[in-house]
Amino acid sequence: MTKNILLCGVGGQGTLLASNLLAECAMEAGFDVKKSEIHGMAQRGGSVVSHVRFGERICSPIIRKGECDILLAFEELEALRWTEYLKPGGLVISNAQNILPMSVSAGNARYPQNITETLAKISAEVTSVDAIGKARELGNQKCLNVVLLGVLARHVDEIKPEIWPEMIKKMVPQRLQELNLKAFKTGWELA
């Protein structure tokens, strides 16, 4: 068994913390884990992606096109950008949020319309969730990443449900634990 999960989003959305948590949970569950992402530009509003792979033995840290089991998109346009990695019939979990790239906000390109419908046509399963709305309800939109992790957790049977909150407690600073545990639960129940 090898599980391939691709997390994509926009710099500043917290994809890196989410992928760290996911990787630590998979490690805690006893798997070999590899993760790959490119740093350096992440703070500057660029497109960001993390590959997380776990199983008995993982060699390459990179997911092959067509072998991604779950695409966890923090932003709709980014979901579209990375669909080629999805295996036929793979699952897309998408945060219902649009962040305009500079080319669009400057009026030089158009943001694609009806992305959820487009995705539904090409992949077997699409779960669109208002994670950003839920994060704002919780009082801090920065916990968007952990809300999405909660949604993801429901679809990752290989990791026991109790591991996730355990690792959140272990990895998130004390003062943010309560918020993040709530965020995780909210995501879990959204799924």
Partner 1 sequence: MKQSSNRAFLSGNAAIARGAWEAGVRFASAYPGTPSTEILEYCGTYNEIDAQWAVNEKTAMETVIGACYGGARSLCAQKHVGLNVAADPFFTVGYTGVNAGLVIVSADDPGMHSSQNEQDNRYYAMMAKIPMFEPANSQEAKDMTKAAMKMSEEYDTPVMLRMTTRTSHSEGIVSLGERETAPDREFVRDMAKYCVLPNNARRLHAKVEERLKKVAEFGNNCEFNRIEAGDTRIGIISSGISYSHAREIFPKASYLKLGLTFPIPTELIKKFAESVETLIVIEENEPFIETAVRVLGIKCIGKNRLPVCGELNPDIIHESLKEFVDKAMPQTTTMPDVEIPVRPPVLCPGCPHRGIFFMLRKLDCTVTGDIGCYSLGAFAPHNAMHTIVCMGASITNSLGIEKAMKDKIHGKLVAVLGESTFMHSGITGLIDTVYNKGRHVTMILDNSITAMTGHQENPASGRTLKGEPAKVLDFAAICHACGVTNVHAVDPFDLKTVEATLKTALADSEPSVIIARRPCFLLKSYKPRVRLVSINRDKCVKCGICWKLGCPAIEVNQQDGKTQINQALCVHCGLCAAVCRPGAITQAKEEA
Give the strand pairing for 32-37 and 47-55.
antiparallel
- The number of residues that bind partner 1 (CB under 8 A) is 62
Strands (E), 96-151: 125-129
Q: Which of residues 119-178 bind partner 1 (CB under 8 A)?
A: 119, 121-123, 141, 171
SS3 106: coil
Q: Do the Cβ atoms of 125 and 89 come closer than 8 Å?
A: yes
Angle (nearest 5°) at CA 128 between 126 and 132: 150
Give the range of 64-72, 142-150, 153-161, 178-186 binding partner 1 by CB under 8 A: 64-72
Question: If binding is defined by CB under 8 A, does position 46 make contact with partner 1?
Answer: yes
Work out how close the CB of 28 gets to partner 1 at its nearest, in angstroms, rounded to a whole number.
Answer: 7
Q: Does 102 bind partner 1 (CB under 8 A)?
A: yes
Task: Give the residue with the Cβ less far from partner 1, 10 or 156.
Answer: 10
Is residue 142 exposed (0-12), middle (13-18) or buried (19+ Cβ within 10 Å)?
Answer: middle
Nearest CB to partner 1, comparing residues 84 and 189 = 84
**Are 93 and 127 spatial neighbours (Cβ–Cβ below 8 Å)?**
yes
Residues 17-36 that bind partner 1 (CB under 8 A): 20, 23-24, 27-28, 32-36
Binding of partner 1 by 47 (CB under 8 A): yes
Alpha carbons within 13 A on the beta-carbon side of 63: 31
Q: Which residues bind partner 1 (CB under 8 A)?
A: 10-11, 20, 23-24, 27-28, 32-41, 43-47, 58-62, 64-67, 77-78, 80-81, 83-88, 90, 100-112, 118-119, 121-123, 141, 171
